Structure formats: structure tokens, C-alpha cells
Amino acid sequence: MNYFNENPDLVLTFDKVVDWQRVVPLVCGPEANVADTVATWRELLSVAGEYIGTEIAGRAKQVDEIGVIRDGGRVATSEPMNENLRGLADLGFVGLALPEAHGGSGLPIVLNSLGVAMIARACAATMVEFGIGYAEPAAMIVRFGTEEQKRRWVPGVLRGATKGAVAMTEPQAGSDVGNVQTSARQEGDHWCLVGRKQFISAGNGDFVIVLARSQAGSSGLDGLSLFIVPREGDNYVVERAEHKFPIRGSTTCSLVFESSRAELLGEAGGGWKEILTFMNESRIAIGLQGLGIAEAAHEKAARYAAMRKQMGLPIREHPMVAEMLLDMETTIAGLRAIATEASTLQDVVTHSKDESATRQLRELTPLVKWYGSEEVVRVCRSALQIFGGYGVVTEYEIERHMRDVLILPIYEGTSQIQSLMAVRDLMRVILRHPASLLRGGPTPMLGRARFGGDFAAARGTLVGSLRGLIAGMARRGGLALVRGRRQPTEDEIRPFMLHAERITETLAHLHVARSLLEQAARVPERRAVADRAARRARIVAKRNAEAIASGDGGVFARVDEWARERATPSR
């Protein structure tokens, strides 16, 4: 099928939701004809949708079954995977959002995002190899590289002839980026890297962009730099490809650097700031991957529920199954709404100095990753249940979606890391402006939303929970703390950290409801799903508020006990 033309929700998003009047002048200049430009972009997605929905989707089962080639120490991608990647390169998808001056198409990030979700729907493993092996390395070199580096690496990547990767994670430094141990020392006109990297997606390519410690004696996030490390001549070793059950067709490698020759990418010591851009883009990309997987699972489940009869009726006519299908539809529409909003903000931030857009993007990014992971796991679990016994049979492919989805809450920052990010940012906003909890709040984006009913009830419930947590903080740390005169201690913020994921879940559902309600104000077809999202936000907010109000349940006592054990010298 054509993954664009035959996807009503995606077509509606393109035609009526995306604010092309804002995006086109930003990306193409104020003189661009918006209608003609958008018509051209629509045709591009239609052509891509045909290729992705037939060729890539048609090879997905084979990509999964073959997995990664391991032959006498050699690690390689399968031929069906290579066909997918060649086809995407031929379509120009690798450089879709890169500037034309560097061989790209110069198209909007939001347009690219709509295409990436289609790829993920067809084959989640292909989406990873495409994004991490080609699109992201090219973008990073264009963004931070010298003119010579751009000339050397980018054209081959855009053609699909050169494959890269981005290596940040280490055996002892996953989410703790400040614990990176891989070191770089300068020797004459080049750098030498020593260390190991683990869980590197697409790590069997021709080069890798590595985050390493370039300043001797530095610690934490200081003294880190990015390097381009070519593989040519066994400059570094692809030690192994992990055996894993999700995204089997994508290579996940361990890399060893032993005085590996490297060249600096970007500014010496600027590695954290530079890799942060990649991390934030990747987190939105994981939300898009979740969107694609959810659509694939829902489409199969909806078709099966219409065909499968039990007790004389198609099972979709049984209320419990019908509710499951509606819930899946709501998640998909909501995830597309906030992912599209975030991608549009990426375009605004890229092409302007809009500080408001930067703050909004920062607020949405961890929520897109969290919702696009955790809620999509629920979608796939429901799809599996609708299929019953057939759901665990490989022939029906639902089990592949169930396997693939389980990587989403883990990589590119776990769901718990996203929650900590979201809640620490929220705390900064509240402590800087405590009165926001008296004026609707808890953030400017949510506070400006003028919707009543379930949305207002959900927002009010969250604000009530936050007031309770802030009041507890004031009792422990005094009014000076909540007036922003000093930073809270780790002990004082423990209740926030304990309930971070509950707060994040409520925030995510509130933003989904807000985004869909804003769409419904312009697009009447969105009204029903927006109302369902708002109702769900109210239910989620109430459940989480009750859990937050119930206290810590002995968690802090146990944490303190473990801390004492750690501090007591062993005999």
C-alpha cells in the first residue's frame, strides 16, 4: 500500500494541520509560492510512500529473519537491508533536510519527520540504520565540520555509498555522559583515540563520530570533544555485533579504539554541547519510530478485528475490543500531533532566533520520546491481545512489532531519564515563577491553553499535585527555597524525583490533549479524537495524583538503608 496516500490521518496532518504558511517562508524564503511548494512536497511524500509501503514493507520480514550477518568476525548488514538503504538514498531521503549547498534538498524538518515515520512503519530496523548510519552523521558533519570534512564525507553518505555512525555510549557510561572514559590525545596534525564504545547502532560502517575526553584531567561534561574516526585500514575494531531480539536487522556493535587515528569535528572541548543537539534530535526521532510501529500494529489489529468472529460477531464489535482500538487510534493521533509540533518547532529554531520556540521545543522533546515509547508499548500489547494466540506466531508479524517496540523506552535515553529531564526543567520554571501554580500553569505552553472540561480538570489535578510537592519542599527547606533564593538540595527534591515519571506521564497526556484540541479548533475532523485524548488525560492525572499523595511507600527508608550500607566499610 502507499503509506502516504492510504493513511488518512497522515494526509489530514499534511493538508490541514502543518502550518505551511509559517514553514515555507522560513525554509524557502519569503518569496516562495506556498501553494506550489506544498503541492511539490506532497507529491514527494506520495512517491516515497509508494516505495516505502511496497518495497521496504515487503522486505521487513526478511530483514528481521536474516538479522545481522556474522561471518568469521565480519559484521555486515543483510542484502534486503542494503536494498532498502540504497532505495532511500536514490529517493534523496538521506539529505532531505540538509542545505542544498552541501548536496541536500533543503526541505523542512517537519516534512522529513513525516517521511521517517513512514519508514519506521514499514521496518523499524531500517529506520535505525537509515537515521544513525546516514542521516545523522551527515547532519553532524554539515553542522560542525570544516569545508574539507564536508567535501570528504558528506557526498558519499548522501549517495548511500558511505555509512557512518555516532558513538557515545560506553560500558560504564550509558546515560551518564559525564563518565565517558574514551580519551583523545593530539599527535602532530592528528588525534589518537583510546577506549571502547558499546551499543553503537550501525557501527559497522566506514567511519564513526566519537565522543571522547580530549582534555587531560577533565571530568564530567567538560573537556569532551567530537572526532571523525575513519575505519579504513582497520583503524578501529568492530569487536562484535550484539545478539538482540528487537530491531534484529540493525547492527548494534561494540567498538575498540587503540591509538585510532582521528580528526577533530567541531570545537575542542565543545563535545557536550554538540552531542546534545544530536541527542535531542534522536529523541524526537524515537518518537517518530514509535509512531511508525504503532501504526503498523494498529493497522494489522484493526484488519484482523474486522475479520475475526467470536460469538457470532466480528471481535471489533465487542465493546472491550472496540475500546482497545479507539485507544490505539487516540495514541497514534496524539503522538503524531506532538511529534509534528516538535518537528515544526525544530524548523523554526533552525531558521530563526525565536527564543520562545526554543523553550517550547525543550519542553516537548522528552515528552515526545516518553510518550512515543511507553504509550506505543501499550499499543503493541493491545494489538497482540486482539490477535490472541495468533499474535505470538511469526507469520502474523505482530510479535515483531511487540519485540521492536521494547527497545524504545531504553535507547537514546531511557524513559526514566526523559522523566528526570522533564521534571527538572519543570521545577526550574516553578521555582523561578511560583505564582504560575496560581495562574493555571504549570508551564507557559499549558497555561495558555484555554480549554475547559476534561483538559482543565487534568491540568488542575496536576497543578494540585505540584502545589503539594512544593509545599512539602517549603516545609523542609523554608520559603527562601521556593522563592528562588537558593537551589534545592538532592534531599529536598527527592519527592519530585520519586514521582518524576508520574508527573511526566501526566505532562505528556496534557500536551497530547492540548495539541489535538488546538487542531480541533481549526480542523473539525479532529474533535472526537481530541475529546478522547482530553478524557484520557483527566483519568491519567487523577491516577497519578493519588499515587503522589500517598507518599513514598517506604522507598526513601530503603534508599537510606542502602546508602548506609555503601558508606559502611566492609570487614
Q: What pLDDT does 483 receive?
A: 67
Q: Does residue 280 share a domain with residue 227?
A: no
Read off the pLDDT of each residue in 30-52 and give the average, rounded to a whole number.
Answer: 97
Q: What pLDDT does 188 receive?
A: 86
Query: Which has the closest alpha carbon to 143: 273, 284, 289, 41?
Result: 273
User: Could you give the angle at which helices 415-432 and 453-477 cross, rounded to 10 degrees?
Assistant: 80
Q: Which three cell numbers stand for residue 511?
A: 500536551
Identify the domain boundary among 234, 269, 304: 269
Q: Does residue 118 share a domain with residue 2?
A: yes
CB contact set of 504 (below 8 Å; sequence gap of 6+)? 366, 367, 370, 418, 419, 422, 423
Choice between 81 and 470, residue whose per-residue pLDDT is larger: 81
CB contact set of 2 (below 8 Å; sequence gap of 6+)? 46, 49, 50, 53, 54
Q: Does residue 147 share a domain with residue 18?
A: yes
Query: Between the CA atoms of 345, 346, 348 and 350, what dihedral angle is there, to the nearest 10 degrees?
Result: 160
Residue-wise pLDDT for 342-400, tens only, equals 999 999 999 998 999 999 999 999 999 999 999 999 999 999 999 999 999 998 899 99
Residue with cell 491481545: 385
The catalytically annotated residue of 329, 412, 501, 518 is 412
Q: Does residue 127 share a domain with residue 88?
A: yes
CB contact set of 202 (below 8 Å; sequence gap of 6+)? 128, 129, 132, 133, 163, 164, 165, 250, 251
Q: Is 565 within the bounds of a domain?
A: no
Q: Does residue 547 share a domain with residue 419?
A: yes
- Cα 408 from chain centroid? 8
Query: Between the CA atoms of 524, 527, 530 and 534, what dihedral angle is there, to the nearest 10 degrees?
Result: 140
Q: Is 559 within the bounds of a domain?
A: no
| Residue 388 Ramachandran class (φ > 0 left, ψ -120 to 50 alpha, else beta) | left
Residue 8 scores a pLDDT above 70: yes
Query: Which has the closest alpha carbon to 149: 263, 29, 299?
Result: 263
Q: How long is the chain?
A: 571
Q: What pLDDT does 219 receive?
A: 86
d(CA 197, CA 152): 24
Query: Which has the closest alpha carbon to 544: 451, 377, 419, 414?
Result: 419
Contact between 271 and 212 under an 8 Å Cβ cutoff? The reply is yes
Residue 484 scores a pLDDT above 70: no
Q: Which three cell numbers stand for residue 457?
A: 480538570
Identify the domain boundary among 250, 269, 288: 269
Q: What pLDDT does 239 receive?
A: 94
β partners of residue 70: 75
Q: Does residue 36 share a domain with residue 123?
A: yes
Q: What is the CATH number of the domain that holds 159?
A: 1.10.540.10
Identify the domain boundary among 163, 189, 204: 163
Q: Is 560 within the bounds of a domain?
A: no
CA of 1: how far to CAs of 5, 10, 56, in Å? 9, 14, 11
Q: Does residue 402 share a domain with residue 363?
A: yes
Considering 334-338, 430-434, 468-472, 480-484, the range whose residues carry the highest mean pLDDT is 334-338
Domain, as residue range, for 274: 270-412
Q: Does residue 377 share a domain with residue 252?
A: no
Q: What is the mean pLDDT of the chain?
A: 94
pTM, two decimals, is 0.95
β partners of residue 192: 185, 261
Contact between 431 and 496 under an 8 Å Cβ cutoff? The reply is no
Contact between 98 and 121 under an 8 Å Cβ cutoff? The reply is no
Q: Is 482 within the bounds of a domain?
A: yes
Range in 121-125, 298-302, 306-310 with the lowest mean pLDDT:
306-310
Q: Is 571 within the bounds of a domain?
A: no
Contact between 1 and 54 under an 8 Å Cβ cutoff? The reply is yes
Query: Which has the closest alpha carbon to 185: 272, 262, 256, 270?
Result: 262
Q: Does residue 323 share a domain with residue 359?
A: yes
Q: What is the CATH number of the domain that holds 344?
A: 1.20.140.10
CA distance between the termini of the chain: 67
Read off the pLDDT of each residue in 271-291 and give the average, rounded to a whole number.
Answer: 95
Q: Is 12 within the bounds of a domain?
A: yes
Map 365-426 to HEC letters: HHHHHHHHHHHHHHHHHHHHHHHHHHHHCHHHCHHHHHHHHCCCCCCCCCHHHHHHHHHHHH
Annotated catalytic residue 412:
yes
Q: What is the CATH number of the domain that holds 253?
A: 2.40.110.10
Contact between 314 and 308 under an 8 Å Cβ cutoff? The reply is yes
CA of 408: how far to CAs of 142, 168, 428, in Å? 27, 18, 27
d(CA 475, CA 478): 6
Residue-wise pLDDT for 543-565, tens only, equals 999 999 999 999 999 999 999 99
Q: Is 567 within the bounds of a domain?
A: no
Tell me which DSSP letter residue 248 carries.
Answer: T
Q: Does residue 187 share a domain with residue 88?
A: no
Q: What angle do CA 123, 125, 127 make, to 5 degrees?
A: 75
Contact between 134 and 127 under an 8 Å Cβ cutoff? The reply is no
Query: Which has the closest alpha carbon to 33: 21, 49, 15?
Result: 21
Q: Is 570 within the bounds of a domain?
A: no
- 237-241 and 252-265 beta bridge pairing: antiparallel
- At 407, which amino acid appears? I
The domain total for the chain is 4
pLDDT band (50, 70, 90) for residue 482 = low
- At 452, which amino acid appears? G
Query: Which has the closest alpha carbon to 277: 350, 223, 337?
Result: 350
Q: Percentage of the chain surpassing pLDDT 70?
A: 98
CA of 412: how far to CAs of 152, 219, 281, 299, 484, in Å? 28, 22, 10, 27, 32
Q: What pLDDT does 439 receive?
A: 73
CB atoms under 10 Å from CB of 250, counted, come to 29
Tell me which DSSP letter residue 569 carries.
Answer: P
Query: Between the CA atoms of 443, 449, 453 and 457, what dihedral angle is there, to the nearest 10 degrees?
Result: 0
CB atoms under 10 Å from CB of 356, counted, come to 11
β partners of residue 15: none
Range in 186-200, 208-222, 432-446 with the lowest mean pLDDT:
432-446
Q: Does residue 438 share a domain with residue 507?
A: yes
Contact between 214 and 231 under an 8 Å Cβ cutoff? The reply is no
Q: Does residue 430 share a domain with residue 336?
A: no
Residue 72 scores a pLDDT above 90: no
Q: Which three cell numbers stand for residue 233?
A: 585500514
